[in-house]
Amino acid sequence: MTPLISLKSIRKTFTSGEVPVHALKDVSLDIEAGDFVAIIGQSGSGKSTLMTILGCLDRPTSGQYLLDGEDVSDFSPDELAERRRRMFGFVFQSYNLVPTASAEENVEIPAIYAGLPAEARRERAGALLERLGLGDRLDHLPNQLSGGQQQRVSIARALMNGGQIILADEPTGALDSRSGRDVLATLRQMHAEGHTVIIITHAPELAESADRVIEIRDGQIVADRRLRPLPRANPKGPEAIGAEAASAVVADVFEAVRMSMRALRANLFRTVLTLLGIVIGVSSVVAMLAIGNGAQQSVLSRIAAMGSDLLIVRPNMANFRGGDGGSIVSLVPSDADAILELPNVAFAVPEMSSTLTVRAGNRDTQTTVNGTVPQFPAAKSWEVGAGSFLNTEDMTSYAPVAVIGQTVADTLFPDGGTALGQYILIKNIPFQVIGVMAKKGATAGGQDQDDTVLVPLSTGNLRLFGARNVRSITVQVKDDSAINVTQDQIQALLDDRHKRQDTQITNMAAIRETFTETSNVLKIFLGSIAAISLVVGGIGVMNIMLVSVTERTREIGIRMATGARARDILTQFIVEALVVSALGGLIGIALGLSIGGVAQLFGVPVSFAPGPVILAFGSAFLTGLVFGYLPARNASRLQPAVALASV
């Protein structure tokens, strides 16, 4: 019959230090299933090294290890993890419980990696703790338990997956003698139930309770005594639990999220600081883009309201500085008629204007009186609210009629009475109000466009303005795409008519284009600032994860000892980084939207769109993945024996 464990010429040499340490020199050893073996020896004799090799936590430097007939000496890390999970249960001198997990959760850990469903896991962990007299301590954290109780939790954990072979390294070393006896009695009982028990101790009196005592000195076996015969029934021991259940990926991730939430809660202050980096990054992306988009759209819509297919011809002010009292005489109404003759011109609307006092009854107001033509509403995209606009007949007959803006209507006729049909006095000349313009609002420059009175250009020219000065000619083109050509033609025409260049033309389409380009550059700039803060946040995540891995090296070792594969550890730490950044992302989005909302309350134009929100959250998530990967990989590459030995 093949022994359960068979070591042949096992050597283990540590070469990490300056001089190689030969911890095990040519150890050969057979252990039968169902035996109770004590390995004794002085401190430093190689006992723990032997245990890490027996327990598949480390590989021998040379020699052969047959476990249940299989040569595991050159197994891959994952294959070794599978053997640990299925066959071994570890009990350590320092208990090695995960400090942030309750007694029950600690006992459950091996079954997580064996893929046992959560319900079955909890039930079995509870039952094991109950059996070991800890039924009323399930929710206690390790630091709320006595040493003896912690050691019993770790025995329960060793039994969780079946624990065919229980490896106990100085299990009573840190306990008082009574608790030590309790633990030993528990191990004896496990042996009676068919578990193979191997305990390591430096105390000879403890070894007396074993069936077989192996003494090791300087890495070599020096004595091997049998005190009691091997139990005759020699059962194979309990079945492995859950080993066949393929662990579902979803359950893994769910479990990893749960574990990471716990780890993050355990270090709440640090977690909050880490979150802060991500939150600031994400909220600034969301808020900056919302405000940037809002500003752009608001300006674009004002430009659109003015009409983007317009050319506005004005006298070139620079030519008249210090001229005849600042009066502008370069543009005349007939210029508009000449422009209208050009091929691509839909209409050309001249405006003359003057600031005058307008009176109605006993009220008066200072306002801009504009002389213009019937095409004015079309050229300005500005509708008449009530009544009608000036028509061609008004022009030719020099009619004393006026269309007034909302502000003027409100000022002169405040009592809700309609202005239509009433007379207003401009320069003591009565004009009849035939229309009221719809509300237009302020210009981008904050000027109230509704504070105006519109009269026929001909009437204004003759009776109000005196000088024949035209303030501007608004030209609408037929074909937008040829607007630049038309602009050049108008400039050439006017230069020819005036025999000098004394006008300038504003091209609304060009302004709109320039503005859009400028604001896009600005948005990219804002976006990059936000992206930089996200990267800074990501570095924060990486920093914290690296600290976390270093701090929790032993926990990683415990998880590996209970059967976690490298990729389980990788998943756990990546998920932890992702949980932080996703949480930070969500809080950041909420904060960014609130900042936008508050800005809106204060009158800042804000435009919320799903794009930036998705972009910011996606970047946060990606940041977590990228910056969490390196620490997670470091964690997963730890050697189980090394990780367990860390303090």
Contacts with Mg ion by CB under 5 A lie at 48
As measured in angstroms, the least distance from the Cβ of 19 to ligand ADP is 10
Q: How far is CA 329 from CA 128, 371, 378, 468, in A?
A: 103, 15, 26, 7
Residue 581 binds ligand ADP (CB under 6 A) = no
Residue 23 binds ligand ADP (CB under 6 A) = yes
Amino acid at 98: V
Partner from ligand ADP, Mg ion, none binding residue 44, C-beta < 5-8 Å depending on class: ligand ADP
Pairwise CA distance, residues 175 & 73, whole Å? 34
**Do 86 and 161 form a contact (C-beta atoms < 8 A)?**
yes
Partner from ligand ADP, Mg ion, none binding residue 16, C-beta < 5-8 Å depending on class: ligand ADP
Residues 6+ apart with CB under 8 A from 41: 47, 202, 215, 216, 217
Binding range to ligand ADP, per CB under 6 A, among 26-34, 39-47, 113-121, 316-324: 39-47
Residue among 174 and 243 whose Cβ is closer to ligand ADP:
174
As measured in angstroms, the least distance from the Cβ of 223 to ligand ADP is 15
**Do 530 and 277 form a contact (C-beta atoms < 8 A)?**
no
Residue 401 binds ligand ADP (CB under 6 A) = no
Pairwise CA distance, residues 235 & 492, whole Å? 110
Pairwise CA distance, residues 141 & 150, whole Å? 9
As measured in angstroms, the least distance from the Cβ of 200 to ligand ADP is 7
Out of 3, 44, 117, 387, name the contact with ligand ADP by CB under 6 A. Answer: 44
Pick from 175, 230, 236: nearest CA to 201 = 175
Residue among 17 and 326 whose Cβ is closer to ligand ADP:
17
Residues 6+ apart with CB under 8 A from 174: 93, 94, 95, 147, 151
Residues 48-87: x/- map of binding to ligand ADP (CB under 6 A)? xx--------------------------------------
Pairwise CA distance, residues 408 & 82, whole Å? 88
Residue among 172 and 367 whose Cβ is closer to ligand ADP:
172
| Residue-by-residue DSSP string for 342-380 | STTEEEEEEEEEEEEEEEETTEEEEEEEEEE-TTHHHHH
Applying CB under 6 A, the site for ligand ADP has a residue count of 13
Residue among 16 and 143 whose Cβ is closer to ligand ADP:
16
Residue 557 binds ligand ADP (CB under 6 A) = no
Pairwise CA distance, residues 94 & 527, whole Å? 52
Partner from Mg ion, ligand ADP, none binding residue 201, C-beta < 5-8 Å depending on class: none
Residue among 156 and 214 whose Cβ is closer to ligand ADP:
214
Out of 3, 11, 13, 21, name the contact with ligand ADP by CB under 6 A. Answer: 21
Partner from Mg ion, ligand ADP, none binding residue 440, C-beta < 5-8 Å depending on class: none
Beta bridge pairs of residue 475: 311, 348
Instruction: Report which residue's Cβ sits closest to Mg ion.
Output: 48
Pairwise CA distance, residues 224 & 615, whole Å? 68
Q: Which residues would be at the binding site for ligand ADP (CB under 6 A)?
A: 14, 16-17, 21, 23, 41, 43-49
